[in-house]
Amino acid sequence: MRGMGNMNNMMKQMQKMQKDMAKAQEELKDLTVTGTAGREMVSVVADGHKNIVDVIIKEEVVDPDDVEMIQDLVLAATNDALKKVDELVASKMGKFTQGMNLPGMF
């Protein structure tokens, strides 16, 4: 019977970990990161679920004869923001997978 107590305890720990993970994932939607490019001439803000929530382009970078440059800066800032989201998720969710080798998890 002793083994059943350990199994029940392990199941309770797993359920608690699942609740904590769900809470942490929910909190990510309220956190934001900002990616920048061109010495912060273009900024892209993303939430912890990788939704782009804002794009800021400083007026002095706008050149109607060089739209391609603005596009490149927006692309670079977006990639920077998404990289920062990955880092945020890894730091927030990594404690749940630490020590486990789970491919494809966060």
pTM summary value: 0.72
Q: What are phi and psi of 38, to 5 degrees?
A: 60, 50
Cα–Cα dist 58/49, whole Å: 26
| pLDDT for residue 2 | 60
CB 28 within 8 A of CB 92: yes
Arithmetic mean of pLDDT, 35-59: 96
| Closest to 49 measured CA to CA, from 97, 85, 90 | 85
Evaluate if residue 100 carries a pLDDT over 80: no
| Closest to 58 measured CA to CA, from 47, 69, 50, 49 | 69
Cβ burial of 31 (10 Å; 0-12, 13-18, 19+) is middle
Phi-psi region of 99 (alpha: psi -120 to 50; beta: other; left: phi over 0): left
| pLDDT for residue 95 | 77
